[in-house]
Amino acid sequence: MGLLTPRNFNKRKAKNMVYPSNPAFFTTTVGGMQLSYVSALSALQNTNVYSVINRIASDVASAHFKTENTATLNRLESPSSLIGRFSFWQGALMQLCLSGNDYIPLVGQNLEHIPNSDVQINYLPGNMGIVYTVLESNDRPQMVLRQDQMLHFRLMPDPQYRYLIGRSPLESLQNALNLDDKASKSNMSAMENQINPAGKLTISNYLSDGKDLESAREEFEKANTGDNSGRLMVLPDGFDYTQLEMKTDVFKALADNSAYSADQISKAFGVPSDILGGGTSTESQHSNIDQIKATYLANLNSYVNPIVDELRLKMNAPDLELDIKDMLDVDDSALINQVSNLAKSGVLGAEQAQFILTRSGFLPDNLPEFKPLTTQVKGGDEGDN
C-alpha cells in the first residue's frame, strides 16, 4: 500500500511499510496523478538559492570535527580517497539543503554519498527498526543495511513518514521561486521590447497595403542599424522618426523582484540577507556586523546539529563536536579582540591570554619569552645636583 493515497481509499492493515528516500518534493504520485515541484536543477539556476546553499555548505564544510575517538576523527577528516574532505562535506550539506536528506553508508573505510533515488527505506514490523535498501550502481552490488550501518542526515523530519524523512527549505519556496521565474521572464521580455523597438516611424499619406509598410520598415532598419548604427539619419519626404524613451519602471520591477526573492530565500534558509549581500531587510541598519555574524552562526545549528547528532549515534563518538566558531573569524581578529578585552578587564592574566592564543594556533608553540624593555638612565643624569 502506498503512503500517498486518496482520503477515501480503503486502507488495509500493513505489517511493514516502505518509505520514500526523499519527501514529495521533486515529483510524486497522489491518487494516480503526478505532481511536479521545483527541481534541484532549476533551483540552483536561481542566483539567490545558489548563493545561500553554497554559503551554508562551504562554511560548514570548512569547520573541523573534534572528538577523543581518534578512529572516528580520522574517518571523518579523511572520508574519501576520491575527493578531499572539504568537497565531501560540502556535497553532504548541498544535498541536505536541496532535498532535506543525505545518505552515507558506513560500509568500508571510504565514505560515499548515495543518491536519494537509489535508497529505499523499510520500516520493520513491531517498531523493531528500519532497513535501508541501496540499489546497485556502477558495479556496486545492491546493499541491505541496518539503521546503524547508514548515516542518514535529515532536516525537519516529516511526521507523515514517522519522522524518518527530512524536508528541504526549498519546499517553502515553491511559490516564491515560480513567481520569481515568471517575473524574471516577464521583465526580460519587457526589457527586450523596450530596448529593441526603440522608436516609431511615421509615414505620411500612407495609402498602400501592409506589404509596402513592412518593406518600408525593413529598408529603414537596414539603413540605420548594423554598420550604419549611429550614423547621420537621412529620411525622405513623408517619413518621420520618433525616438522612444526607456521606461525606468522596467528596471525598478527587476530590482524589486530580485530583492523579494532574496528576502524569501534568506528567510527560508535562516541566513541573514546581509550575509548574502542582497534583499531589502534592514538587519545592518539595526545591528553591527558582529551581531549579524552571531545570528548567522546560531542559525547554522539547524544544519550542523542533525549531522553531529547522527554521527554521535552511529559512530560511537558521544563527545563529537563540529567547531563552527572560527568559520567567520578567518584571521583570528575576533578571538584576539575578545582575549584582549578580557585581559584588560583583569579576567585573564598575560600568561592565560598567551595560552589561549597559542592553543588556537595564532601564536607559535616555540614563541620566545617576552622581555619588556627597560629604560636606561643616561650618564651624568644622576648626582648632578
3-class SS of residue 154 = strand
**pLDDT by 10s per residue, the chain, length 385:** 344 334 443 433 334 445 455 554 443 322 333 333 445 666 777 778 888 899 999 999 999 999 999 999 999 999 999 999 999 999 999 999 888 899 999 998 889 998 888 888 888 877 788 889 888 877 778 899 999 999 999 998 888 777 888 888 887 776 666 656 666 666 566 555 544 555 676 777 665 677 777 777 787 777 777 776 667 777 777 777 776 555 555 556 555 666 667 788 888 888 887 777 654 554 555 567 777 877 888 888 899 999 999 999 999 999 999 987 766 666 677 778 888 888 888 888 888 888 888 887 777 877 777 776 665 555 555 545 4
Domain spans, the chain? 176-250, 330-368
Indicate the pTM of the whole model. Answer: 0.66
List residues bridging with 241 in a β-sheet. Answer: 201
Four-residue CA torsion sign, 64, 67, 68, 69: negative
Pairing of strands 119-123, 101-105: unpaired
State phi, psi for 129 to the nearest 5 degrees.
135, -170
Q: How far apart are CA 286 and CA 288, in angstroms?
A: 7
- Tell me 244's DSSP state: P
Residue 92 to residues 71, 72, 162, 358, Cα–Cα distance (Å): 21, 17, 23, 32
Among 126, 101, 80, CA closest to 21: 101
